[in-house]
Amino acid sequence: MIRFILLLCLCIWQLSLASDKCLEILTPTKEATEKVISSSYPYWYNLALAKKETNCRWLTSLDGHGSVGYFQLTPKFLDPILRPLYPDYTKPYSTDHFFAFAYYIKSLHISNPSNKLFITYQRYNGGDWVLKECKRAGSYEWSKCKQACRRGNVCVRKINGECTQYRSACDINYEYPVLIYKFGQKYKKGTDYYLFWWVKFKYQNCKIAVNFVSKKCNTFVSKKCNTLQKCKIYLLHKVYFSYT
C-alpha cells in the first residue's frame, strides 16, 4: 500500500512538471537575464513574473492596455524605450521579447534606490507608487511601505459592463512581489546575490557578520563564488541568517 502511494505521488509530481509551461521558456529567460542584466542576477524571479502574468503563455492584452507576450509588456508605454533596441519584441515567440523584458527590468532595478528586488517587481506591476509610500514610511521594509499606502479600490471583475467586484490597489500591488518570491522558489537554481526583501540588521549581529565576512573573503574566494564581491554577498547573507 505504501509503495502504491509513493508511486502515485511520483506520477503526480512528474505530471505537474510536464504541464508546467514555464519550463519551456526557462532557457531564453535565463539567457536574456544573464546577458542584459548580470550573470549573477536571480533569473528565477523573472521566470516567476511570467508565471504570475500569463502562466508562461503567449497572451495579448489581459489588462486592457494591449499588453503582449509572456511578460505582458505594454507597447503603449514602452515602445519609445524598447522598440529601437528590440524591434520584434511584440512578435509571438521572438527572442526580442525576452531581451526587451530583461532590459526593462534592468532599467527599473538600476533606478531603484533601495536595490531590493521586491520594489523592482512592484514597480513593474504598479509603477512608482511604492517609492512614494516607502518615502512616506521612512523605510524600505515591505510591511512599513504597505502601511503607508493610501490608494483607492480598483475594479477586478465586470459583468455586462458593470463592476461587480473591487479590490484595494494597495493589496494588489503589495501582493505582487510576495507571489513573485513564492513562485521564484520553485525555479530557484543557485544563490540570491540580490536581496529580495529589506533586511534589518541588529547592530551587534551586523558587526559580527561584517567582521567575519571581511576576514574570510580577504583570505580566500568561496567555492560557491567566482569573484570577491560575490563571496562577500554570499557569506554576509549566510552569516546574517545564522545570527538572527
Q: Which three cell numbers stand for residue 75?
A: 507597447
Domain range list for the chain: 17-136+173-200, 202-244
| Contacts by 224-230, CB closer than 8 A, 24 or more apart | 224/191, 230/40, 230/193
Q: What pLDDT score does 18 carry? A: 53
Closest listed residue to residue 32, CA positions, set 102, 89, 107: 102
Q: What pLDDT score does 198 carry? A: 83
Q: What pLDDT score does 11 carry? A: 42
Q: What pLDDT score does 10 carry? A: 44
Q: What pLDDT score does 204 carry? A: 43
Q: What pLDDT score does 55 carry? A: 97
CA distances from 54 to 63, 146, 163, 219, 235 (A): 11, 25, 23, 46, 35
Averaged confidence pLDDT in the chain: 82
Dihedral (CA of 114, 116, 117, 122) sign:
negative
Which helix (H) or strand (E) segment holds residue 38: the answer is none
Give the separation between CA 226 and CA 194, rounded to whole angstroms. 15
Q: What pLDDT score does 132 carry? A: 97
CATH number at 17-136+173-200: 1.10.530.10
Which stretches in the chain have pLDDT values below 70?
1-18, 62-64, 200-244
